[in-house]
Amino acid sequence: MTYEELLTETALKDERIIVMTAENRALVRNIPTVLGARFVDTGITEQTMVGMAAGLALRGRVPIVHALAPFLTMRAFEFIRTDVGIAGLPVKLSGYIPGFLSDGNGPTHQSIEDVAIMRGIPGMKVYSPANEDDLVKMLPSIWASPSPAYVRINHKKGVYAHTPYQPGKAEVVAEGKDLTLLVYGFLFDNARQAVALLEKEGFSVGLVNMRSLKPVDEEAIVRAARGSGLLVTIEDHLQTGGLYSIVAEVLLRHRIGAAEVLPLALNERWFRPGLLGQVLETEGFTPEKIAERINSHLYAK
Amino acid sequence: MTNKQSAELQSTALRVREHIIRLSAGGGCFIGASLSCVEIMVYLYTHVIRRDAAHPHDPQRDYLFLSKGHDVPALYGTFVEMGWLAAERLSNHLSTQDSIYWHPNRHIPGVEFHSGSLGHLPAVAAGVALDCKLRGSQNRVVVITGDGELNEGSVWETLLVANAYGLDNLTVVVDRNQFQANIRTEELVPLEPLADKFRAFGCEVQRIDGHDYGQLKEAFDGAMRPGKGGSSIHGSGGKVKVIIADTVRGKGLPSIEARADRWFCAFSGDEVLQLLEELHGNKEAAIESETLVVR
C-alpha cells in the first residue's frame, strides 16, 4: 500500500479529515478528484495553511497537511507552535523530502533540524518511518490519535518486512553485545546493511529502528546501552537536537553515565547537494561508509 | 534598439536555452520556469546591471537577486554567455564536488545570494536597497520573482515596508509565466488583476511582454532612471518599481510550452537531443519521460 492509498482510504472513511497542501502535490496527486471539497490547496502559503488547519481543527476536523519538510516545519514554525501547539489541536503534519531525500535541492530545502524543532513543541509527537512499508504501518495510529504530530514522510520502497507498529515503541531488529546501531528514517536500510558488514568483522551488532522520536522508546535505548559496549546514533539530521541528543537525554535521565555513544550525523553543517547516491557517498552514509566509520572508531580504542 | 542589437540578444538567448536544455538531462532541472525568463535575464545582465566581473564585490555595483531560485539554469546559462562561468562546469550539475545544483549558490561568481525557499529575496533586496539609500549611493537593485511565488505573504510585507521607506531604487520583476508548479495560477490562487494589486501596495507598475527586447528596454529605461535619492519613512522617497513580464513557461520548445505537467523534468539523453532540434525549429520532440512533482 502507498501513502496516497492509505490517505485516500482513511479520509473516505472519516469525514473529519481534511487533506491540505501548500501546493506540493507529490504525495496527493489523485486526492483532489476523490475528496472534492475536503481537499484544500492553499497555494505556496505554508503559514496560512497551518493557521487554517488550526481553524479547521477548532471546528472538529483533523487536517492532514502537506508541504516540503523545511517549509512546513520552518516557514510555518511559529504557526505550528502557537496555533497548533498551544491549543493542542490534532493537526497532522506530513513533511516531504526530509533529510537527505532533498538530494540536489541545496541547503534551502534541507530539513535537517526538523526533529529538533518539532520535538521542542510541548505535546507535539515526532515520527520517522524507515520506508513506505513502515510508514503505512505507523500512520493509522498517528492519524487516529488526538495529538498534533509531525511525520518525516519517507515513501522509499524498502526490502525489510517491518513488524506491526506499537505506538511509541521502537522496532528492535537485533540485539548485539559489542554495539547497537540506533537509526531512524531513510537511513534504516543502509544501517541494516552496515550491520551485516560489521558482523563479518566478527562483531556482535544490534539494530534498532527508532520509529517514534517523541515519545521515544526509553526502554529500548536503556536496554541497548546496558547490553552493548557502544551505541551508534545514525541520522540525516544535525547532530544538535536529533537522536544523538535524545539518547543523551535518556541516558542522563536513567543515570547511565558510562555509556559510550558515537554520533553519525551532520555536525554544524548542511550537506553537499547532489544526486542521492553521491550525497550518501560524500557524507559517509552508504552501508560501507557507515561500517568503515564505526570500524575505525572501534579500532582506534 | 537596433536590429543588430536585437539579433545579438536573440542569439545569446538561444545559446542560454541550449544550456538549459542540456541541464535537464540526467538528474533534471526546472526547465519550464527557466525557459520563461531567458530574455529577462539576458537583457538585465547585458544592458541593465552595472557589474564588473573583475570586481565582483564592488560596493557601487548594481544587484540582481534571483528569488525564484529554481530557474538557476537560466542564470548559469547566462553567466556562461557573459564569460563569468566556464561552460564545462555545467557538466558538474548535481555533483557533490561542485556547487551547481537545483538552486543558486553564492560560491558561483555572480550569484548575489542563495535562494530556493520562495518569498525571501524581495526582503533581502530591500535591505540592500535601504543601505544604498542610507549611504546615498546610486546602485540599483533588481529582484526577479516568480508569479506562483507571489502566494507567499512575505513578498507583500516587503512591498509595504519598502514603500514605507521610499525604496525607489528597488525594482521587482515578476516572471508572469502563468504557472505554479503543476497548476495554472489562475486555477489555484488567482493573482489577477495583478497590476492593480501592486499599485494598491504603493508600487509603480509596468506590464510588458517579457520575451520582447524592445519592451524590456523601455520598461527598464523607465524603472531604472535615478530616483529621488532620499529615503524616509512616510517621507520623500519614491515608489518601488514593478515590472510584470508576461512570459510563456517552456518558451522556445513548443512540445513543453505552457504545459502544467512540464515542471521539473529529467529527460533522457536522446530526448535532450530532440529538444535541441526542436529549439532550432526542426522536428518537434517526442517526450516520454514522466514528470516528477517536486518543489
**CA-based nearest distance B199→chain A, Å:** 22
Bridge partners (DSSP) of residue A230 are A179, A260
Interchain contact B96–A (C-beta under 8 A): yes
Check residue B228 and give its pLDDT. 62
How confident is the prediction along chain A (301 residues), in pLDDT tens digits per residue?
999 999 999 999 999 999 999 999 999 999 999 999 999 999 999 999 999 999 999 999 999 999 999 999 999 999 999 999 999 999 999 999 999 999 999 999 999 999 999 999 999 999 999 999 999 999 999 999 999 999 999 999 999 999 999 999 999 999 999 999 999 999 999 999 999 999 999 999 999 999 999 999 999 999 999 999 999 999 999 999 999 999 999 999 999 988 899 999 999 999 999 999 999 999 999 999 999 999 999 988 7
Which residues in chain B touch residue A50, judged by CB atoms under 8 angstroms apart?
none
d(CA B269, CA B287): 11
Per CB-CB distance under 8 Å, the chain B contacts of A104 are 27, 94, 101-102
- Please name the CATH architecture into which domain A3-152 falls: 3-Layer(aba) Sandwich (3.40)
Sheet arrangement for strand A179-183: A171-174, A205-209, A179-183, A230-238, A260-266
A48 and chain B: CB distance < 8 Å anywhere?
A: yes
**pLDDT at residue B294 greater than cutoff 70:** no
Record: contact B116-A106, CB cut-off 8 A: yes
Long-range contacts of A36-43 (CB under 8 A, 24+ apart): A38/A11, A41/B183, A41/B188, A42/B189, A43/B148, A43/B151, A43/B180, A43/B188, A43/B189
B115/A25 touch (CB, cutoff 8 Å), yes or no: no
Encode pLDDT of B49-61 as tens digits. Answer: 999 999 999 999 9
The minimal CB distance from B151 to the residues A44, A104, A282 is found for: A44
- Cβ–Cβ gap A106/B101 under 8 Å: yes
Q: Which among B101, B114, B188 is the nearest to A274, CB-wise?
A: B101
Please check whether residue B166 touches A, CB under 8 A.
Answer: no
Query: In 3D, which of A21, A145, A13 has the Cα closest to residue A89?
Result: A145
Q: What are the backbone dihedrals phi and psi of residue B109, each rounded to the nearest 5 degrees, phi first?
A: -60, 130
Chain A CB contacts of B69 under 8 Å are 108
Residue B230 contacts residue B166 (beta carbons within 8 Å)? yes
- CA end-to-end distance (rounded Å), chain A: 45
CA–CA distance, A142 with A106 (Å, rounded to integer): 30
pLDDT tens, A26-74? 999 999 999 999 999 999 999 999 999 999 999 999 999 999 999 999 9
Mean pLDDT calculated for residue range B102-114: 96
pLDDT at position B261 is: 85
- The average pLDDT across B263-280 equals 94
Q: E-strand spans in chain B?
A: 63-66, 141-146, 170-176, 204-209, 241-246
Best CA proximity match to B248, nearest among B184, B198, B196, B197: B184
A32 inside 8 A of chain B by CB:
no
pLDDT band at B235 (very low <50, low <70, confident <90, very high): low
Residue B232's pLDDT band, with cuts at 50, 70 and 90, is low
Tell me the HSE value of A295 on the side-chain side, using a 13 A CA sphere. 16
Contact A104 B293 (CB under 8 A): no
The mean pLDDT value for B218-240 works out to 75
Suggest the residue from A20, A33, A44 to mutate for an interface test with chain B (most B CBs closer than 10 A).
A44
Q: Do A44 and B116 touch (CB under 8 A)?
A: no
Quickly state the pLDDT bin for B251 (edges 50, 70, 90).
very high
Tell me: pLDDT of B259 over 70: yes
CB contact under 8 A, A68 and B114: no
| pLDDT score recorded for residue B14 | 98
| pLDDT tops 80 at residue B230 | no
Q: Where in chain A is the domain with CATH 3.40.50.970?
A: 3-152
Q: How many CB pairs under 8 A join A and B?
A: 96
pTM above 0.90, yes or no: yes
pLDDT at B295: 46
Closest chain A C-alpha to B178 CA, distance in angstroms: 13
Q: What is the pLDDT of residues B69-94, one digit of tens each?
A: 999 999 999 999 999 999 999 999 99
3-class DSSP assignment, residue B1: coil
Measured CA to CA in angstroms, residue A60 lies from A57, A122, A241, B211 at distances of 5, 21, 33, 50
Is A253 within 8 Å of chain B by CB?
no
B184-209, pLDDT tens digit by residue? 999 999 999 999 999 999 999 999 99
The dotted CATH code for A171-300 is 3.40.50.920
The single residue listed with the C-alpha cell 536590429 is: B3
Distance from CA of A82 to the nearest CA of B (A): 18
Q: Is the peptide bond before B109 cis (omega within 30 degrees of 0)?
A: no
d(CA A187, CA A199): 18
Question: What phi, psi does A99 have (nearest 5°)?
Answer: 55, -135
Domains and CATH numbers, chain B: 39-251 (3.40.50.970)
Interface of B with A in 194-233 (CB under 8 A): none
Mutation choice for A interface testing from B29, B93, B101, B185 by most A CBs within 10 A: B101
Distance from CA of B166 to the nearest CA of A (A): 27
Cell matching residue A89? 489541536
Distances (CA, A) of B103 to A101, A253, B67, B124, B212: 15, 43, 10, 17, 26
Across B215-224, average pLDDT: 95
Looking at residue B26, its pLDDT comes to 84
Interface of A with B in 173-212 (CB under 8 A): none
CA atoms of B155 and B176, how far apart (whole Å): 15
- What is the CA angle A22-A24-A26, rounded to 5? 155
